[in-house]
Chains A and B, each alone.
Chain A
Amino acid sequence: MEISWLQAILIGLFACLSSMPGMGGTSIGNYTLGRPLIGGLVCGVILGDIATGVLVGCAMQVVYIALVTPGGTVSADVRAVSYIGIPLAMVALNSYGLSPESVEGAALATSFGTMVGTLGTVLFYGTATINLVWQHAGWQAVEKRQYKKLYVVDMVLPWISHILCSFIPTIIMCKLGADVVELIKTTLPMDGIAMKTLFTVGSLLPCVGIAILLKQIVKAAADFVPFLFGFVLAASLGINLVSATVVASMFAIINYKIKMLSAQRVAGAAATIDDDEEDI
């Protein structure tokens, strides 16, 4: 599987739109196009194999399911995961002859994507650093009271940062990808320790993604119960995700009603105490 120049250019454009300070804006860029699941669909359409793209996207999505970037600190760059990692993983699967639906296929995709994503943080800091130049121009515009220029500073000039830090790296990686995959394939045999480790890491990495998410939800040991409950629904009872969400919503509604009732009772009790005091 070879990625053509046109395909590489299209993927490069999507890399500019997505990512953390991306040109698509946060909701459309980072949180839609940047998500590996969506990146998988986009790469699948561009490379002409939607099913493989989506499956690779799904496998990587688990690792980055809760990519929170508090205070602008990133542990992985979504443009690199979705638009460098996914095309490369698709090339690799094709070259190894693995089905993306198999456990091994998903593991290969995950370890490839995560490696690229972690290295991709360089691109994030690169973009943010070049943006400093535009912001400097912005401050001069504010000083001179040329406020219209702010739009250019905020929405046009950062494209240059992205051409340097998203567009060009993505094209280079997409074009080199096939050769690199071939090189890895010949130097590291599938049944060797290195490849076995790579595949095992691929199956372990999603645990980190889930754990990052749990960090948001679990404050005390009892908070693990909803998580384990959901786990049992799928693992033991074989309920699919959409149905599990319906079951989960039921519990969420019950919890909401109880919380509101107890809040009302507290408010009610407070009101009665006030009345008593007035009587005295």
Chain B
Amino acid sequence: MEKKLSKKALIKSFHNWYYGHLTCFSQEHMQTFGYLCAMLPLVEELYKNEDDKAKAMNTYTAFFNTEPQLGTVIVGITAGLEEARAGGQEDVDDETINGLRAGLMGPVAGIGDSLIVGTVIPILLGIAMGMSTGGSPLGAIFYIIVWNLFAYFGMRFLYFKGYNLGAKAVEFLIGTQGEAIRDSVSILGGIVIGAVSATWVSVKTSFTLYNEAGEAYLSLQNKLDEVFPGLLTAIFIVVCWFLMAKKQLSPIKVMLLLVVIAFVGVLIGFFNPGLSY
């Protein structure tokens, strides 16, 4: 007995996920309730019998957490699997569905965190900040429109890719083409972030040596900028990266370290914001 989900139920399921995947977040069950809400319209359409409904819903009570935007593909895949199970396919059971969910949520979270949250959003924000120089709202509006269109239609695309292709949809993400795209996007991200740091981050030293007549003959900041404009800024960024990536310090510890560096720097006259009333 073949069963087919209606477009309406699929769209409702997608919207439930799009909005509700994290609204009821707790450390214990992160996206589990969002997942249950996404599956409910499908389960209600596929099963008429209360026992069958309960059996299907119980499948999705298992813990779930991933990068929710890219993770939409997993919800799409399970929509397809649930349809197959309702249609009487013997080889689809609780174990296949939950095995697949558990197996995919880790890798998808890894790719999603670094590709979407760690690269696409910063690139868009970088461009937006460029457009907002001088306090113009243009950049912020640009980000609101572009990001939300991208997120909504991207997630919708992933949902239906998952539903139509099943597990094959993930190959697109981790296959050769997916890898080439990710590699290229990370180059794009690297260059844009470089430009963002040079434009928006400014670490300057006030260290100056004076001769006997009281004239400045060595300004460290100018000397450093002659070597490489923005050298001090770049050094600080690389040091922070080194502490976090190689020394495994948490961001908060690095921030506290910077407070100490700033305090010592101010005391010895290396840093001086030069403020007065």
A82, chain B: closest CB distance, angstroms: 12
> A126-151 CB contact bits vs B (8 Å, 1 = yes)?
01110110110011001001010011
Instruction: Indicate whether A199 reaches chain B with its CB closer than 8 angstroms.
Output: yes
Q: Among B122, B131, B179, point to the contact of A65 (Cβ < 8 A).
A: B122
| A101 pairs with B24, CB closer than 8 A | no
CB neighbours of B202 from chain A (8 A):
103, 203
| B143 pairs with A129, CB closer than 8 A | no
Instruction: Indicate whether A208 reaches chain B with its CB closer than 8 angstroms.
Output: yes
Q: How far apart sit A200 and B275, CA to CA, in the bound complex (Å)?
A: 11
Contacts A27-B69, A241-B130; A132 near B22 (Cβ below 8 A): no
Q: Which of B87-95, B166-174, B258-266 contacts A (4 or more CB under 8 A)?
A: B258-266
Q: Which of A7-15, A30-38, A174-182, A271-279 contacts B (4 or more CB under 8 A)?
A: A30-38
CB neighbours of A41 from chain B (8 A):
137, 140-141
- Least CB separation from A256: chain B residue: B184
| A135 pairs with B196, CB closer than 8 A | no
| A212 pairs with B251, CB closer than 8 A | yes
Instruction: Indicate whether A169 reaches chain B with its CB closer than 8 angstroms.
Output: no
Q: How far apart sit A202 and B34, CA to CA, in the bound complex (Å)?
A: 38
CB neighbours of B216 from chain A (8 A):
none
| B192 pairs with A245, CB closer than 8 A | yes
Q: How far apart sit A35 and B26, CA to CA, in the bound complex (Å)?
A: 22
| A104 pairs with B135, CB closer than 8 A | no
User: Do most interface residues of chain B lie in helix, strand or loop, or is the interface mixed?
Assistant: helix
CB neighbours of B204 from chain A (8 A):
203
CB neighbours of A240 from chain B (8 A):
130, 133, 199
CB neighbours of A21 from chain B (8 A):
22-25
B171, chain A: closest CB distance, angstroms: 14
| A114 pairs with B255, CB closer than 8 A | yes
| B191 pairs with A251, CB closer than 8 A | yes
> B239-273 CB contact bits vs A (8 Å, 1 = yes)?
11101110000111011001101110111000111
A163, chain B: closest CB distance, angstroms: 14
| A230 pairs with B192, CB closer than 8 A | yes
CB neighbours of A244 from chain B (8 A):
130, 191-192, 195
Q: Which of B23-65 contact A (CB under 8 A)?
A: 23-30, 32-34, 36-37, 40, 43-44, 50, 53-54, 57-58, 61, 65
Q: Among A54, A129, A201, A204, point to the contact of B132 (Cβ < 8 A).
A: A54
Q: Among A147, A210, A226, A260, point to the contact of B40 (Cβ < 8 A).
A: A147
Contacts A197-B263, A217-B118; A228 near B24 (Cβ below 8 A): no
Q: Among B25, B137, B237, B240, point to the contact of A54 (Cβ < 8 A).
A: B137
Instruction: Indicate whether A100 reaches chain B with its CB closer than 8 angstroms.
Output: yes
Instruction: Indicate whether A195 reaches chain B with its CB closer than 8 angstroms.
Output: yes
CB neighbours of A231 from chain B (8 A):
194-195, 197-198, 230, 234
CB neighbours of B230 from chain A (8 A):
231, 235
| B21 pairs with A233, CB closer than 8 A | no
Cross-chain pairs A/B with CB under 8 angstroms, 7 sampled: A38-B144, A142-B57, A150-B37, A154-B34, A208-B254, A234-B196, A251-B188
| Residue positions of A touching B, CB distance < 8 A | 20-23, 25-28, 30-32, 35, 37-38, 40-41, 44, 50-55, 57-59, 61-62, 65-72, 75, 100-101, 103-104, 107, 114, 118, 125, 127-129, 131-132, 134-135, 138-139, 142, 145, 147, 150-151, 153-155, 157-158, 189-191, 193, 195-197, 199-201, 203-208, 210-218, 223-236, 239-242, 244-245, 247-249, 251-253, 255-256, 259-260, 263
Assuming A37-B125, A234-B198, what are 18 further A-B pairs, CB within 8 angstroms? A27-B18, A66-B121, A100-B135, A158-B23, A200-B262, A206-B200, A208-B258, A211-B244, A213-B189, A214-B237, A230-B191, A233-B198, A234-B194, A248-B187, A248-B195, A251-B187, A255-B180, A259-B180
| Residue positions of B touching A, CB distance < 8 A | 16, 18-30, 32-34, 36-37, 40, 43-44, 50, 53-54, 57-58, 61, 65, 68-69, 109, 113-114, 117-119, 121-123, 125-137, 139-141, 143-144, 147-148, 151-152, 155, 176-177, 179-181, 183-204, 228-230, 233-234, 236-241, 243-245, 250-252, 254-255, 258-259, 261-263, 265-267, 271-273, 275-277
